[in-house]
Amino acid sequence: MERDRGLTDTVLLMDNYGETSQMLCRSFRNSGFKGPVIVIEDDGFFPEDVISVYQYFSGDFRKSSRVSGKPRYFNQINIPDYWEINASNAEGKVYDLHRERGRIFYADPKHKRLVRVVDWMDERGTVRSSDHYNRYGALYARTFFSKDGKRFCKAYFDGEGRETLVENFVTHDIILNRGGRVYVFKSKTDLILKLLEELGAMECRIFFNSLSTPLFVSERMPEGRKEDVLFWQEGVRNDIPGNMQLILSGQSRRTKAICVQRKASYEKLIQLGASKEKVSPLGFVYEYSRKNTCRNKALICTNSDRIQSCEELIKALPNMDFYIAAVTEMSSRLMELSRYDNVSLYPAARAEIFDELFDTCDYYLDINYEAEIVSAVKQAFLHDQLILGFKQTLHNRTFIPKEHVFDNQEDLVAFLNQVMDHEERMREEIDWQKKEAMSEEAAAYAALLK
């Protein structure tokens, strides 16, 4: 009975919905958490079980006949006659003859070319406004900039295009039109408290992941037992933030504890004198995709031919099958690797191909320069692949222990020769990979909700 109460009397409040926030949300959901998940900074593409503070006050876009219900493709934005759009898998640009007048930014994954933001520029190339689109294809907000390119306000719209809310970035005032009334809030904190009031959540506990606005909201909630929790997701720093010291000293009105979600950050806080009674390590609950072991298959995901020691590794490991996949077409230099019997190339690979490769390979080599594609390192981690890389090429250190990072190809080859065809050793290395990433069981989160 007590546990059921805990599943619903808590609010998860987050600054944004970046990767670590998403993992925190999924960790709670996997533990049975049914309470509201609220995010402050909106990108328009939240899943349906996440509440956007700003879009909440704009209503349900799915009920509007003016909204398609699907994200906009890059060529579906409105442009003046005779202007044109040029697009790549990274971004799009709008031209008036030879002059660039707009820039299109995509939602993740970027290769799908779904519109998130469009910046509009004047003839001097200064951004004067930004149109924000959501996952229903609606223009839900517009940011306005001054002549010198500084943003000064942002207007939000409902599904019918009516202005519902305006935030002034200079005065920090927020004006809300709601139910025939006009509300003026002096800060984001006040707006969020209004949202919590409407949700009937003013008596709930607040679990939050930022020392800025979410903490301010917690401190403004009705005082009661100290049951709020900070989930600290920042990297290592050489001091303890002032707002965190408020919690550690017991001066916070509501927050009782801090869960640190990075191993190195936890170790540093303890070194700086944080009390273990207040601070504890807590990783994430990952949803692993279990598969049958397919030995000696290594995956590389890249959109360039700059792959450190790629050909040398292919020749040094004849018993290893290398699968190299790209979202884009491949250069002639990369295509030439197909002459090796242990290489398979997948240019312009579809999502289904990537899914199959993550399912069937047991190693992921994070050895490509340039940007990471398809969140490859995280996907490899979730598919129980052993992730290995070079110091110069790493894209996501969260999922790669230092013991799996190498200075040169000789060290990497030597390691692979020790692991290949040794299933028990392979399992030990993957278990270590999970431990260093602070992989948690759902029960750890369920315990917090009691």
What are the sequence ranges of the domains in the chain?
2-57+187-281, 297-436
State the burial class of residue 96 (Cβ atoms within 10 Å of its Cβ: 0-12, 13-18, 19+): middle
Rounded Cα distance, 146 and 134, in Å: 24
Look up the CATH architecture of domain 297-436.
3-Layer(aba) Sandwich (3.40)
| Fold agreement (2-57+187-281, 297-436) | yes
Count CA within 13 A, CB hemisphere, residue 82.
4
pTM: 0.88
**CA distance linking residue 158 with residue 140, whole number of Å:** 6
pLDDT number for residue 8 = 65
Q: What is the 3-state secondary structure (H, E, C) of the chain?
A: CHHHHHHHCEEEEECCCCHHHHHHHHHHHHCCCCCCEEECCCCCCCCCCEEEHHHHCCCCHHHCCCCCCCCCEHHHCCCCCCCEEEECCCCEEEEECCEEEEEEEECCCHHHCEEEEEEEECCCCCEEEEEEECCCCCEEEEEEECCCCCEEEEEEECCCCCEEEEEECCCCCEEEEECCEEEEECCHHHHHHHHHHHCCCCCCEEEECCCCHHHHHHHHCCCCCCCEEEEECCCCCCCCCHHHHHHHCCCCCCEEEEEECCHHHHHHHHHCCCCCCCEEECCECCCCCCCCCCCCEEEEECCCCCECCHHHHHHHCCCCEEEEECCCCCCHHHHHHHHCCCEEEECCCCHHHHHHHHHHCCEEEECECCCCCCCHHHHHHHCCCEEEEECCCCCCHHHCCHHHEECCHHHHHHHHHHHCCCHHHHHHHHHHHHHHCCECCHHHHHHHCC
pLDDT (0 to 100) of residue 5: 46
Residue whose C-alpha is closest to residue 300's, from 209, 366, 245, 378: 366
**Would the CA dihedral through 65, 92, 167, 127 be positive or negative?**
negative
pLDDT at 100: 96
Q: What is the C-alpha to C-alpha distance for residues 430 and 208, in angstroms, rounded to an integer?
A: 31
pLDDT score recorded for residue 291: 67
For residue 371, how many C-alpha atoms fall within 13 Å in the half-sphere facing its CB? Answer: 11
Ramachandran class of 44: left when φ > 0, alpha when ψ lies in -120 to 50, beta otherwise: left
pLDDT of residue 406: 97
Grouped pLDDT means (10 residues each) for the chain, 450 residues: 55 95 95 95 92 93 88 95 92 94 93 95 94 96 94 96 96 94 96 96 95 97 90 94 94 95 95 95 90 82 95 97 95 96 96 94 96 94 96 94 96 96 92 95 93
Topology classification of domain 2-57+187-281? Rossmann fold (3.40.50)
What pLDDT does 134 receive?
Answer: 96
Distance CA 77, CA 106 (A): 12
**Residue showing tokens 């600054």:** 15
